[in-house]
Structure 1
Amino acid sequence: MSAHDPADGLPEHPERLWSSPEPERSYDVVIVGGGGHGLATAYYLARNHGITNVAVLEKGWLAGGNMARNTTIIRSNYLWDESAGIYEHALKLWEGLEDDLGYPLLFSQRGVLNLAHSLQDVREGVRRVNANRLNGVDAEWLDPGEVGEVCPIVNVSPDVRHPVLGATYQPRAGIAKHDHVAWGFARAAAAMGVHLIEHCEVTGIDVEGGRVRAVQTTRGRIAAGRVALCAAGHSSVVAGLAGVELPLQSHSLQALVSDLLEPVHPTVVMSNAVHVYVSQAHKGELVMGAGIDACNSYRQRGAFHIIERQMAAALELFPVFARAHVLRTWGGVVDVSPDASPVVGLTPVDDLYVNCGWGTGGFKATPGVGWCFAHTVAHGEPHPLNAPFSLERFTTGALVDEHGAAAVAH
């Protein structure tokens, strides 16, 4: 990582933010996947548990997968107690993370609006607000006039195809700069002795006597006391190397940014019915996302018809953007579980742990799941906040159904 211009909001570093060591032949913990979750897990293993003989293996470059391809929304206003617990834990960590890491993350608590366009949306929104308040999560119900006060550029006219009947509002929610988050975690973990090894693809997982022993990589065999999988959309492929079948489907999730605009969009606006969510990045570009592509895919790009619908939906809500131009589009590979909630915990293979199934909600959970997954790996048992998200729930039936929260983006 080279030096940066202080005008970009980053400190000037004449040296690399982390080193690129050759892999050792063995580690206490090997983390597969160098995205936000893998880096956060490594950091909290070292910080909270004193486990520093750790390697993070990334087949490409650090944070080059979904971490670099998400739309950076951070919120905790989930319906079910289990989801609210882990996401609110994450949000509280976000609020002190810049000081903790000693690195600027551009965390901006500008609030999130979830719009309601039908009476059913209104009922579900009010129910969620009440559930949030019971869980100590900040939440408000706004009528259309109040929506217009929070975000004046939203079209709240009653005579449109999808009229805004109200919205849930979480004032503490917001956005952060995804690259800075990854760099902050990587820098802090490396400073405590964690090895960050790029261009090292895992091609096999050695299991003997029901226990994980090592990983096979493009840079040789690496023995491991414990292996933690944080491979996002490729989690089912990597877990399959150890004979573990995960109930996941991988899809492409598209997003796009516009050219640079003056500051006009003060918050984050999401709409399940219209299927679009919009925020404005620090530099000025609009950041927009939509629902996932229906077909299963490992492609990091999507289909044109999704983008076309996304633009039509955005203009329904924001007529002021009619003359904006699309600058670039991209896709990430998201892993979706049957109940649209993550899988975090133990596997049938001893000392093999999995963190996956986040679908479109992985970024906002980064510090929270890193904290909880590090506890799980360090102690060999789930942290109370991720215990409900065990793999066994798909046989016991104790599902955490968050499909309503996942219709557009987590």
Structure 2
Amino acid sequence: MGGHHGGGRRRARELRPPLAAGAPRPRLHAGRGRSRPGQGRRTRWPGAHPGPVDVGSPSAGSSNEGARRRRAARDTPVDGAPPMTGVFRRRVFLRQVEPKRRYDVVIIGGGVNGLSLAYNLAARHGICDVAVFEAGYIGAGASGRNTQVVRANYNTPENVPLYKASLGIWRTLSQELDFNIQFSTQGELDLCHTTDSLEVERDKSLLNQAYGVQTDVVTPEEIAHINPLIDLTAGGSFPVLGASYHPPGSTARHDSVVWGYASAATRLDVHVHEGRGVTGIRVDGDGCTGIETDAGPISAGAVVSAAAGWTSIVAGMAGLKLPISTHPLQAFVTEPYRHLLDGLVSSMDLYVYISQTARGELLVGAEILPYNTYSTRSTFDFLSEAAKRSIQILPFMARARALRQWAGLCDMTPDSSPILGETEVPRFFLMAGMGTWGFKGSPIFGRTMAELVATGRTPELIAPFAPDRFERDRMVPDAASAGTH
């Protein structure tokens, strides 16, 4: 990625992708009129990035100070509370209440899956005496670190209908939650550089079509028509032989989804407790009876772990050992540019995927890293390798500037499929083993798990993903869908 030019205001930059002779060249303009490195970082945002179509300087007659004052004026106190700005504005959406001594259902983990479950319990089953306990702030874990991809092109007869149902919910979720989650259908291209990966995609396409999910195998010529920015030679070293094309592939803004579920759940009197860590799970001869917190013991009719990468630790509190390993997954974004890239582009052999966000950032992710850790520290090795791979596919990215990078935690199962159901400890449930798919499946995971917790009946969609399937030798292997996104 390009280095930083010092001194003064920088000229607008352009990324010029290689196109056929005579074809119009899309132009991406990075931020004009920006400060020197480190100068005015807190105040330069107003007007500097007005939208995904163009990135220009603040409008005439405006100033950073004036814009900052206008922002502060919008932070209206709620119910007499003091005004708040920045990250603390989340209190506008969440009522701060003290935990009760007992709830019908306690959910551990304030990410998108835990909040989806809480909302569905209240909205669909009338169980509103529900509490979500989050050690940090909602969306602080995997939900706020994922790369926003939504798709249904999986590779087993069990996973395809599950994620197809989830995709159906995604399409109307903004209306259901009365919250704009910024859902956008763009399509997904999975490039294949080897005959083996192309065969896998052919098989996946046939399976998807059998379940009514649109996934087509396309030729290099068709790839060029769908997205002419792709270098079909991959830098001259790894030619593209074909791809699978998944038109329903979409994105949704992850923090909007978290806040959509949280606000909808709290309107139904669900309690969401931020900064409340769970220190233990109470179990007696009859099963799970509640949790221990830093605020004291809390009884519950049922306890659900939706703690993502921390699932093994939470399950250990209940005396369970799970076949789950925790791995880091990293991503980075560039500075924002004018809109250019339509849809998600990934490589099945280079293990990289690229999309462009609504703000114009080019978002790049790669494969799950092969070692176990609870660290969310990102690495330069990832940045350099993922940047190199993205340039092989989309050469115009050689002139993009990396803005930030981060890491999240993935809880991986031996078969690369989720764990959804009640454990051997009665009334202790798991929403776990989500790997790289937790965000995509969160609408259907929450809906089906709410039905199980509320009625005791396991919905057909999640029956294959029961926690005891490993003991019964009934695994659902889908590693081909799990490597990156």
Classify the TM-score, shorter chain: over 0.9
Which amino acid in structure 1 is aligned with residue 188 of structure 2?
V
- Match in the other structure for 2:290: 214
Which of these residues, 101, 108, 128, is aligned with residue 25 of structure 1? 101
Instruction: Kindly state the Cα deviation for residue 173 of structure 1 after the two structures are TM-superposed.
Output: 1.3
C-alpha separation in 2, matches of 1:173 and 1:115: 14
- Match in the other structure for 1:47: 123
Instruction: Kindly state the Cα deviation for residue 81 of structure 1 after the two structures are TM-superposed.
Output: 1.2
- Match in the other structure for 1:405: 481
- Match in the other structure for 1:67: 143
Q: 1:332 to 1:159 in 2, by over 3 A?
A: closer
Q: Report 1:341-380 matches (<5 A).
A: 341-380=417-456
Gaps of 5+ in 2: 1-45, 53-73, 79-91
Q: Report 1:241-252 matches (<5 A).
A: 241-252=317-328
What SS does structure 2 have at the residue aligned with 1:330?
strand
- Match in the other structure for 2:174: 98
Q: Does 1:279 align with 2:355?
A: yes
Contact 1:58 1:199 in 2 (8 A): yes
Contact 1:351 1:380 in 2 (8 A): no
Q: 1:186 to 1:8 in 2, by over 3 A?
A: farther
Q: Report 1:7-406 matches (<5 A).
A: 14=76, 15=78, 16-157=92-233, 160-406=236-482
Q: Deviations over 1:27-81 (max 9, x none)?
A: 0000000000000000000111110000000000011111110000000011111
Contact 1:254 1:332 in 2 (8 A): yes
Determine what percentage of the aligned residue pairs are the same residue.
37
Contact 1:211 1:351 in 2 (8 A): yes
Contact 1:162 1:274 in 2 (8 A): no
What SS does structure 2 have at the residue aligned with 1:400?
coil
Contact 2:51 2:359 in 1 (8 A): no
What SS does structure 2 have at the residue aligned with 1:214?
strand
Aligned length: 402
- The answer to which of 378-387 and 363-372 deviates more is 378-387
What SS does structure 1 have at the residue aligned with 2:214?
coil
C-alpha separation in 1, matches of 2:160 and 2:362: 28
- The answer to which of 51-60 and 399-408 deviates more is 399-408
What SS does structure 2 have at the residue aligned with 1:296?
coil
Q: Deviations over 1:320-369 (max 9, x none)?
A: 11011110010001100000110010101010000100111111111111
C-alpha separation in 2, matches of 1:104 and 1:13: 20
Q: Deviations over 1:185-213 (max 9, x none)?
A: 00000000100000010000110114111
C-alpha separation in 1, matches of 2:177 and 2:51: 18
Post-superposition, which runs of at least 4 consecutive aligned residues in structure 1 deviate over 3 A? Answer: 12-15
Contact 2:412 2:435 in 1 (8 A): yes
Instruction: Kindly state the Cα deviation for residue 246 of structure 1 after the two structures are TM-superposed.
Output: 0.9
Q: 1:220 to 1:279 in 2, by over 3 A?
A: same
Instruction: Kindly state the Cα deviation for residue 143 of structure 1 after the two structures are TM-superposed.
Output: 0.8
Pair member with larger Rg: 2
Instruction: Kindly state the Cα deviation for residue 159 of structure 1 after the two structures are TM-superposed.
Output: 7.3
Which amino acid in structure 1 is aligned with residue 318 of structure 2?
A
Instruction: Kindly state the Cα deviation for residue 307 of structure 1 after the two structures are TM-superposed.
Output: 2.2
What SS does structure 2 have at the residue aligned with 1:81?
coil
C-alpha separation in 1, matches of 2:377 and 2:158: 32
What SS does structure 2 have at the residue aligned with 1:46?
helix
Contact 2:230 2:393 in 1 (8 A): yes
Instruction: Kindly state the Cα deviation for residue 13 of structure 1 after the two structures are TM-superposed.
Output: 8.6
Q: Deviations over 1:70-97 (max 9, x none)?
A: 0000000111111011111110000110
Instruction: Kindly state the Cα deviation for residue 18 of structure 1 after the two structures are TM-superposed.
Output: 2.2
Q: Deviations over 1:360-408 (max 9, x none)?
A: 1111111111111111111223221111001111111111111111122
Q: 1:194 to 1:93 in 2, by over 3 A?
A: same
Contact 1:345 1:381 in 2 (8 A): no
Which amino acid in structure 1 is aligned with residue 190 of structure 2?
N
Instruction: Kindly state the Cα deviation for residue 114 of structure 1 after the two structures are TM-superposed.
Output: 1.0
Instruction: Kindly state the Cα deviation for residue 301 of structure 1 after the two structures are TM-superposed.
Output: 2.0
Superposition RMSD in Å: 1.6
TM-score by length of 1: 0.95
Which amino acid in structure 2 is aligned with residue 240 of structure 1?
G
- The answer to which of 90-99 and 167-176 deviates more is 167-176
Gaps of 5+ in 1: none
Pick the structure with more strand per residue: 1
Instruction: Kindly state the Cα deviation for residue 304 of structure 1 after the two structures are TM-superposed.
Output: 2.4
C-alpha separation in 2, matches of 1:82 and 1:72: 23
Instruction: Kindly state the Cα deviation for residue 273 of structure 1 after the two structures are TM-superposed.
Output: 0.7
Which amino acid in structure 1 is aligned with residue 210 of structure 2?
L
Contact 1:271 1:408 in 2 (8 A): no
